[in-house]
C-alpha cells in the first residue's frame, strides 16, 4: 500500500515534464487559434504557427533536460495531426475542389497511424527508427532533422499561405496558386519554396504508409506460420 503514493508521484512528474507542459500550451494555442480562424486571419496564422514552433521547442527541451517520454511523443504527434487536420478541413471549405485537402488529411493520418502501429509490432523504441527501410528518401527524412524540419515547415507554411489568400468560399485552388506564383513578392517566393517541401512530404507520407502496411502484413504472415 505504501507504494501507491510514490507511483502517483512518479506519474505526476511525467505529466509535468517541461516538454509535456509545452505540449499542453500547444493544445490551448490551437484551440484558441481555430476559434478565431473565421474572424481574424492574422491572429489565427500567428497562433497556429507559434504552436508549430513550440513543437520544435518541446523536442529540444526533452533532450536538454532528459525528459523524453512515450506520453510526450504521443501527445506531440496527436497535437500535430489534429491541428493539421483541422486546418485542412477549413481549407476544404474555402477552396474548390475541397476533396484535395480531405485526401491530404486522409493520407497524413493513415501514414502516421500505420507507422506508429508498425513500430509497436516490431518492438522499436521510436517511429523514427527507419534505418532498415529500403527507401533512401524515407531514411533521409527521419535521419536528417534539418531535412525533416524543412518538409514539415513547408507543409504548414503552404497551408497558412493558402488560408491567408482565400477571400471567399468559391476559390479555385489552382487559380490562386498560379496567380500568386506569377507575382514578384516575398509571399510568392515563400509559396514556391514551400511547394517543393510540401511535395516531398506527401511522397514520404505515401512511402511511410506503404512501408508500415507491409510490416503489418508480414507480421500477420509470420503469425500464421508460427501457429
All cell numbers assigned to 42: 492574422
Q: What angle do CA 103, 107, 110 make, to 5 degrees?
A: 130
Sign of CA dihedral 56, 155, 204, 139: negative
Q: Residue 165 in contact with residue 180, Cβ under 8 Å? A: yes
Residue burial 184-202, b: 16+ Cβ < 10 Å; e: rest:
eeeebebbeebbebbebbb
Residue 142 CB neighbours (<10 A): 19
Q: Residue 163 in contact with residue 41, Cβ under 8 Å? A: yes
DSSP label of 185: S
From the list 182, 37, 220, 215, the residue with the least C-alpha distance to 115 is: 215
80 as an active site residue: the answer is: yes
Q: How far is CA 203 from CA 73, 196, 197, 200, 208, in A?
A: 23, 11, 10, 5, 9
Q: Residue 139 in contact with residue 130, Cβ under 8 Å? A: yes
Residue identified by cell 506564383 is 181
* Catalytic-role residue among 76, 80, 108, 222: 80
Cβ-based neighbours of 134, under 8 Å, separated by 6 or more: none
Residues annotated as catalytic are 80
Amino acid at each position: 500500500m505504501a507504494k501507491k503514493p510514490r507511483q502517483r508521484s512518479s506519474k505526476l512528474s511525467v505529466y509535468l515534464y517541461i516538454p509535456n507542459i509545452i505540449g499542453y500550451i500547444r493544445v490551448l494555442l490551437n484551440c484558441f487559434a481555430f476559434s478565431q480562424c473565421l474572424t481574424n486571419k492574422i491572429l489565427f496564422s500567428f497562433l497556429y504557427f507559434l504552436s508549430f514552433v513550440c513543437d520544435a521547442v518541446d523536442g529540444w527541451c526533452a533532450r536538454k533536460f532528459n525528459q523524453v517520454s512515450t506520453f510526450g511523443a504521443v501527445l506531440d504527434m496527436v497535437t500535430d495531426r489534429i491541428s493539421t487536420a483541422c486546418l485542412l478541413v477549413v481549407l476544404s471549405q474555402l477552396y474548390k475542389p475541397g476533396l484535395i485537402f480531405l485526401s491530404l488529411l486522409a493520407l497524413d493520418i493513415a501514414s502516421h497511424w500505420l507507422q506508429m502501429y508498425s513500430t509497436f509490432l516490431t518492438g522499436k523504441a521510436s517511429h523514427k527508427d527507419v534505418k532498415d527501410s529500403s527507401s533512401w528518401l524515407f531514411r533521409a527524412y527521419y535521419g536528417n532533422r534539418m531535412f525533416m524540419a524543412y518538409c514539415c515547415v513547408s507543409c504548414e507554411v503552404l497551408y497558412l499561405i493558402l488560408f491567408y489568400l482565400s477571400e471567399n468560399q468559391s476559390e479555385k485552388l489552382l487559380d490562386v496558386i498560379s496567380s500568386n506564383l506569377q507575382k514578384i513578392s516575398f509571399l510568392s517566393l515563400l509559396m514556391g519554396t514551400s511547394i517543393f517541401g510540401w511535395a516531398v512530404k506527401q511522397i514520404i507520407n505515401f512511402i511511410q504508409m506503404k512501408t508500415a502496411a507491409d510490416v503489418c502484413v508480414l507480421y500477420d504472415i509470420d503469425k500464421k506460420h508460427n501457429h
